[in-house]
Each structure stands twice: as structure tokens, then as C-alpha cells.
Amino acid sequence: MKKLVSHKTILALLLVLVPPYFLMFTDEGMRVSDNVILWLFGEEGVKLNLKELDHAYTREQVLDIFPDLNWHCVDEQTSFGSSLCSAPVASFNDYPARRLTFFFGDGNVSAMKILYREQYHAQFTGHLIEQLGQPDNVADAIKDSPDAAPVLEWDTGKGIVLQKKELAETDEPAVFWLARVR
């Protein structure tokens, strides 16, 4: 008499095979795996609600909010202010990232830049849409013409969030937040 494969055996095989499949072959699984690996190598993750970021924050407050980051601050004139603080990060809002930089003008936040990992561009765009809603210029961005807007824009009331719609090979995968100074 043939021995049939039991339901328990099938369930055991599924429990063994599905997690590695999820972690290695799905976008979400690869993102989770990358975050864990980056964390294991000592990088810190950052969570930041872009709707709440405000020009009123000072350099000291930003450094106090993220005390575990390895900040490197310099007084250097840039297009965004007179000083900046930058730190390597493992993730930004649970998306694998490389570096977080805050720019300061007159001691307050004037801009923020997050460099994320290029393979997560589409997922990062989805996260921004989830957090901030559809871009304010969505009609211009989805035009099927050469004059379509190449940059997605969100107005948070306290600043403007900018991200390239599509990355060219030479583009830096970054999101900018620019303060609205009243």
C-alpha cells in the first residue's frame, strides 16, 4: 500500500520553504533582509515624519533627536545654508538608505537630504505617496510627453519634498526636503 504524504509533512515543507523564498525573491522580503543585514553591521536606522519636519528645529535639536547617529558637522556655505550635519544610516523609515544630511541656515533646518539605495527607488516613491499623498504635480509628472515633470513634488505646509520620478544611471537616489521659511 502506498504511503500518502500527510498534511503535516506538506505544512512542514511550506514552513521551511516559504520564508527563504519571501526573503530572497520578493521586493518586500529583500528590503527586510537588507535592513537586518545593515543593522547587524552596526548602522542605525532613522524614522522621520516628513510632514512634521519644520524650519523651527535647530541644529542642537536635530542632533538630540538622533543621538545614536555618527554625525559629522561642518560650517560650510552651501546652496541650503551655512552649515550641515551628515551621518551614515542603515535605513530611513524602514527603507535601506546610505546617508542623512541636514542643512542649517541661521541655526535652523533649511533642508534635509536622504540618500537611499537605488534598487528601492520605486518602493521609496510608494512610501512617500503613502506618507504624503499623491504628488502635487502628479498631472504634470504622468504626462506622456517629453515635457512631463521629471521631479515629483509634495507640499507639506512646512516644506517641499522633492524626488526624481525616474533615476537615470548617473542620478543620485535622493529625496530632498526644503524648508518653507515664513
Of the pLDDT bands very low, low, confident and very high (cuts 50, 70, 90), residue 1 is very low
Q: Which residue in the block uniquely carries the three cell numbers 506622456? A: 144
**Per-residue model confidence (pLDDT) at position 32:** 61
pLDDT (tens digit, 9 = 90+) per residue, 99-128? 999 999 988 999 999 999 888 899 899 999
Distance CA 96, CA 173 (A): 11
pLDDT (tens digit, 9 = 90+) per residue, 161-182? 999 988 988 899 999 999 986 5
Task: Give me the sign of the Cα torsion angle 64, 158, 104, 95.
Answer: positive
> Measured in whole angstroms, how far is the alpha carbon of residue 153 from the centre of its chain?
15
